[in-house]
Amino acid sequence: MIRLKGINKTYKRPDEGPLQVLKNVDLTIDKGEYVAIVGPSGSGKSTLMNLLGLLDRPDSGEYELDGQAVSGLSAGALAKLRNTKIGFVFQQFHLLPRTSAVENVEIPLIYSNADNPEQRAIAALKRVGLGDRLKHYPEELSGGQQQRVAIARALVTNPDLILADEPTGNLDKVSGEDLMGLFQELNADGRTIVVITHDEKLAQRAKRVVRIDDGRVSEVRGHSKSSGATVVGEVA
Amino acid sequence: MNIKLLFAGSARMMVRYKMRTLFMAVGIVVGVAALIFMRAMGVGAEQAMMENINRTFSTATINVLAGGGHMGPRAGGPVTSLKLDDFEAIEAAVPGVVMWGVMQWVPSQDIRYQGTTRQMSVYGYSENPEPVWQRGLIAGEYFSAEDVESASRVAVIGTRAAEALFGSDDPIGKQIQVGSVPLRITGVLEPQGIDTHGADKDDEIHVPVTTLMRRIMNIDHLFGGRVIMDDPTKVEAAARQIVALMRERHSIAEGEPADVIAITPKLVQDMVSNFNRVLSRYLPAAAGVALLVAAIVIANIMLIAVKERVPEIGIRKAVGAESGQINFQFLTETVVVALTAGLIGAGLGIVGAVAYGAVGSTPMVVTAGSVLMGLGAALAVGIAAGFLPARQASLLDPVSALR
């Protein structure tokens, strides 16, 4: 599904010198995996997420998504890939205010030519257990429900890959548990799931944990190449 | 791109952000309504004037006036060179003259009947003036060729003047005193109301031109006359020939200005449409200023909206919106607001113009052209005002937008 090879990313900073955020990162994620990427803040997690999600480009290195090299693609082609292959879930949910759940979930379909956008949106909301909240505004939903709407939005184009950035970061304990259950269900359906998180419990639920520290990636557990016995408690 | 969802989304944005939409719309509503209203006023005024001209001027008419046709006092005194026999000469020399009549007048003259005195205008005409001057009688008869020949002491009178002097008595046969001259009323003029100069055409009397010149004014020159041609296409050439003939007969040296002016319908229409061009250009220009202000307000509001909606734009890009699609979407939002406002403004303008025309005395004519112009202006404002904000939205970097 994902193959990163020799990825480097450096940010220019106006006051201080340039900051290299990703250092020669190699990472392969197979179809159907459930991967947690953990690491302290400033470790390069979010940058890695943006690169995986085609929101940003690396300075050097190769990225193959679903067998396709994406380095040379135009901005428009990247937008199309984001639309069809990737579903995003964010810490802040990023739902449009004063816009119903169905309308929020329909948004990715505005930019594709899918038939019956409303039915698809309703189906996605039913899939995440919000069949009875279709016309509710985000303001009328709990945090957990809002995040479910966001997941429905990520699912509505039926992508192979779900990228989640701290999805439980703004949720209480119970809602967080629910959400983790939902991710496991989606993974059981065959979707590839990549979650960036501080949340130990969420990381524990993943089949595989990858640690990123100071721009370098190391396997913690779960991948075929690693022992799988590493203690998750190391991850901060 | 799913256009249906896009428009539905734009319509929802309008409803959702009511205050913002209201501020964006109000300038366009006012501007478009004003544009259509003022244009209706301009077109109405033009049509009314043209009708008026066509009523007083048949298309085959030439008005010949002594001097420049000044109605009031004139430096160096009145031009006294235009005489009755000049018109006989015109009929003989200019081919295609069907008929002609001459005119002299006194703006304000004391008219007495028994104890009552009233000031009114006295007009002197040739015999049977109705076909030349388009003014008939509702009772009695006009003066004849014999009356003009012998400067008879007869007159016809307007309805308002008759009422003032005789009350409800029949005016015909009554003897009135114009200055020191006694005149017998032979007819009553059809009512015509107020003319374009503001004079009451029903508060005047008409007498044979010879009677006015010899008995009342003691002069022998005319104010002017009217020549009717058999063919409207001959009018311009005939007018030039008349002026040349008058220069010759009155011995006007070459290079000196002519002592008569020949006014043709074309000349009058040109003058009026010149005036109306000013009217119909500057009035809508005022509406244009309102629309320009509306465009600036909308552009400002949309720029602020783009700033507020940075996370939204980020999420739209993350889920697959291309820059061009974001650009199109924001432009669509502005255009949908502008066009909706334009339609409301057009409705208000049309209703306002029709109502104003029905209530007041101002003629209002709403044309399809002015409505299209209003809607076109609204569309143009929407596109112009939306361009920059939409571009700014489309250029946002999704990574920083989502931070």
Minimum distance, in Å, between the CA of residue B338 and any CA atom of chain A:
22
**Closest Cα to residue B276, out of B58, B41, B57?**
B41
Å between B323 CA and nearest CA of chain A: 8
Average pLDDT over residues B336-358: 94
Residue in A56, A80, A103 nearest the CB of B399:
A56
Around Cβ B361, how many Cβ atoms within 10 Å? 6
| pLDDT, tens only, B366-401 | 999 889 999 999 999 999 999 999 999 999 988 888
Q: What ipTM is given for this predicted complex?
A: 0.87
B322 touches chain A (CB under 8 A): yes
Asked if the Cβ–Cβ distance from A79 to B321 is below 8 Å, we say yes
Work out the end-to-end distance of chain A between its first and last CA atoms, rounded to an integer number of angstroms.
Answer: 27
CB contacts, 8 Å: B314 with chain A: 94
Q: Is the confidence at residue B142, as pLDDT, over 60? A: yes
- Which residue among B5, B311, B325 places its CB closest to the CB of A109? B5
Q: Give the number of other Cβ atoms within 10 Å of residue A126's Cβ.
A: 13
In a mutagenesis test of the A interface, which of B319, B330, B394 is the best target, namely the one with the most A β-carbons within 10 Å?
B319
Residues 6+ apart with CB under 8 A from A56: A9, A47, A50, B399
Q: Are A19 and A216 in contact (CB under 8 A)?
A: no
Q: Which of A12, A90, A94 has the most B C-beta neighbours within 10 Å, making it the best mutation to test the interface with B?
A: A94
Size of interface A-B (CB pairs under 8 A): 84
pLDDT given at position B68: 64
- Between the alpha carbon of residue B230 and those of residues B66, B99, B100, B238, the distances in Å are 23, 9, 12, 11
CA dist., res. B92 & res. B249, Å (int): 13
Q: Which of these, B295, B294, B311, B310, lies nearest to B388 by C-alpha position? A: B295
Residues A150, A93 contacting (CB under 8 angstroms) = yes
Tell me, yes or no, if the pTM score tops 0.80: no
When CB atoms are compared, the residue of B314, B320, B399 closest to A111 is B320
Task: Give yes or no for residue A147 having a pLDDT over 70.
Answer: yes
Q: If contacts are CB pairs under 8 Å, which of residues 12-51 in chain A contact chain B?
A: 50
Looking at chain A, which residue has its C-alpha nearest residue B3? Answer: A110
The more confident residue out of B201 and B69 is B201
B9 touching chain A per CB within 8 A: yes
Provide the pLDDT for residue B269: 73
pLDDT band at B282 (very low <50, low <70, confident <90, very high): confident
Q: How far apart are the first and last CA of chain B?
A: 26
CB A194 within 8 A of CB A164: yes
So what's the pLDDT on residue B55?
Answer: 67
Residue A15, CB-side half-sphere exposure with 13 Å CA sphere? 0
- Could you tell me which of B366, B371, B382 has the C-alpha nearest to residue B343? B371
- H/E run at residue A64: strand A60-65
**Shortest Cα distance, chain B CAs vs residue A115, angstroms:** 9
Q: Which of A11, A86, A96, A106 should we substitute to test contact with B (largest number of B Cβ atoms within 10 Å)?
A: A96
| Residue A106 forms contact with B (CB below 8 Å) | yes
pLDDT higher than 70, residue B202: yes
Chain B residue whose CA is closest to A106: B5
pLDDT at A223: 58
Find the CB nearest B16 among A98, A109, A111.
A98
Which strands, in side-by-side order, build the sheet including A192-196?
Answer: A86-89, A161-165, A192-196, A34-38, A208-213, A216-221
Question: Rounded to whole angstroms, what are the CA distances from A115 to A79, A119, A120, A156?
Answer: 19, 9, 8, 12
Instruction: Reply yes or no on whether the pLDDT at B115 is more than 50.
Output: yes
**A-chain residues within 8 Å CB-CB of B5?**
106, 109-110, 117
Write the residue in B16, B314, B322 that is nearest to A76 by C-beta: B322
pLDDT above 70 covers a percentage of chain B that reads: 96
Count Cβ atoms below 10 Å from residue A72 Cβ, excluding itself.
6
Q: Is A77 on the interface with B (CB under 8 A)?
A: no
Residue pair B258/B247 in contact (Cβ under 8 Å)? The answer is yes
Q: Please report which confidence band the pLDDT of residue B106 belongs to, taking 50, 70 and 90 as the band edges.
A: very high
Q: Give the CA distances from residue B34 to residues B40, B302, B337, B353, B374, in Å, rounded to whole numbers and listed in that order.
A: 10, 24, 18, 9, 9
CB A117 within 8 A of CB A157: no
d(CA B158, CA B69) in angstroms, rounded, equals: 24
CB contact under 8 A, B319 and A55: no
The Cα of B9 is separated from the nearest Cα of chain A by a number of Å equal to 9
